[in-house]
């Protein structure tokens, strides 16, 4: 018998001062049995960094032809495709062909550094690709905030992110490894 996803609920308040975006989002996250708290919270961080009323979670790890998050327009065209983790070159190229903008949010410390050093030269010509790396200390601290029901506040200012749950605050400085355009 297959293991079922665990459902997490998050009320996420986003104050993105850099973009002038302020909104509340009621998020439902299905965490695949093989997904860690850290990866799930990186999905939440990716949502916060790109928050928009039309941004939605994909069907998850078991669906290879969908991103972790995406935003579509009214015609169904993919405006934004967000992958979390360390995708292979072929998957990134395919995403860049399907979406107007693609963002890869990498994490994992040394593993992320090795991945980027191996793939960077192969992806630098993709004009619609942005690659952001989240430091391991920040993503691990964010994982400690994971609960089945969460009240989270996220403030983004001058490229830095603060994630709080009312008791603890996690500070993360995302590094842009590759900028679109």
pLDDT tens-digit map of 81-130: 999 999 999 999 999 999 999 999 999 999 999 999 999 999 989 999 99
Dist. CA 14–CA 174, nearest whole Å: 16
- CA-CA-CA-CA torsion for 16, 56, 70, 51, nearest 10 degrees? 0
Look at residue 34 and tell me if it is in a domain. yes
Look at residue 161 and tell me if it is in a domain. yes
pLDDT for position 60: 65
pLDDT for position 17: 97
Residue written as token pair 């990186």: 42
Q: What angle do CA 94, 96, 97 make, to 5 degrees?
A: 65
Does 158 have pLDDT greater than 60? yes
- How many structural domains is the chain composed of? 1
Average confidence (pLDDT) over 19-32: 95
Contacts of 85 (CB under 8 A, 6+ apart): 39, 42, 68, 105, 106, 107, 108
Backbone angles phi, psi at 101, to 5 degrees: -135, 140
> How much is the mean pLDDT over the chain?
94
C-alpha 147: how far from chain center: 18
pLDDT for position 47: 98
Does 62 have pLDDT greater than 60? no
pLDDT tier, 77 (very low <50, low <70, confident <90, very high otherwise) = very high
Query: Do the bridges between strand 78-84 and strand 69-72 make them parallel or antiparallel, or are there none, so unpaired?
Result: antiparallel
Look at residue 157 and tell me if it is in a domain. yes
pLDDT tier, 61 (very low <50, low <70, confident <90, very high otherwise) = low
Q: CATH number of the domain that 118 lies in?
A: 3.10.640.10
Dist. CA 123–CA 126, nearest whole Å: 6
Q: Which domain holds residue 48?
A: 6-178
Look at residue 55 and tell me if it is in a domain. yes
Single pTM value for the model: 0.94
pLDDT for position 36: 94
Dist. CA 105–CA 45, nearest whole Å: 9
Average confidence (pLDDT) over 13-32: 96
Look at residue 137 and tell me if it is in a domain. yes
Look at residue 1 and tell me if it is in a domain. no
Dist. CA 51–CA 75, nearest whole Å: 20
- pLDDT tens-digit map of 132-145: 999 999 999 999 99
Here the tokens at position 87 are 């995708």
Look at residue 15 and tell me if it is in a domain. yes
pLDDT for position 12: 98
């Amino acid at each position: 018998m297959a293991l079922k996803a665990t459902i997490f609920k998050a009320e996420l308040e986003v104050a993105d001062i850099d973009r002038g975006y302020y909104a509340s989002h009621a998020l439902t996250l299905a965490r695949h049995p093989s997904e860690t708290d850290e990866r799930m919270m990186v999905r939440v961080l990716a949502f916060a960094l790109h928050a928009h009323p039309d941004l939605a979670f994909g069907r998850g790890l078991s669906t290879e032809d969908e991103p972790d998050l995406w935003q579509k327009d009214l015609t169904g065209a993919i405006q934004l495709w967000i992958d979390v983790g360390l995708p292979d070159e072929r998957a990134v190229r395919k995403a860049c062909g399907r979406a107007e903008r693609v963002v890869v949010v990498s994490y994992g410390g040394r593993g992320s550094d090795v991945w980027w050093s191996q793939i960077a030269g192969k992806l630098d010509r993709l004009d619609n690709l942005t690659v952001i790396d989240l430091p391991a200390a920040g993503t691990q601290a964010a994982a400690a905030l994971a609960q089945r029901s969460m009240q989270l506040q996220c403030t983004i200012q001058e490229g830095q992110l603060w994630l709080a749950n009312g008791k603890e605050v996690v500070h993360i400085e995302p590094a842009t490894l590759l900028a679109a355009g």
